[in-house]
Amino acid sequence: RERERPTLLLFFETAGEATSMLLLDEIFRGGCVDAQHQHIVVQLMALCPEDVSKVRFGKLTPFCIQFLRDIKTFFGLTMKIVADPDTKTTLLSGIGSGYVNMSRRMQ
């Protein structure tokens, strides 16, 4: 058991270092949402009430760009995309579709 302990500690140290580097990379990119969850915020913006929504992202991921195309295809919604060269971020704004869950029970 004593021999396994240094290897296990080395694994945790390596995992912690890799995690901290990923966190610093996301902070460097800027924005309010990390790259892995951009599409979820876009989905919420598309399904929200018919009101203007704005969010600031870092660099848009290819998956998020394709998801924006899918939102345009399925919902007919377009988002305004403005790049901010000073902060190297992207501002996304758009009007929601006003989706209402009709199967939800009224109280």
**74-90 tens-digit pLDDT:** 999 999 999 999 988 99
Question: How far is it, in rounded angstroms, from Cα 78 to Cα 80?
Answer: 7
Question: How many CA atoms lie less than 13 Å away from 64 in the CB half-sphere?
Answer: 21
Question: How far is it, in rounded angstroms, from Cα 41 to Cα 92?
Answer: 10
Question: How far is it, in rounded angstroms, from Cα 57 to Cα 41?
Answer: 10
Residues 6+ apart with CB under 8 A from 41: 33, 55, 57
**31-84 tens-digit pLDDT:** 888 889 999 999 999 999 999 999 999 999 999 999 999 999 999 999 999 999
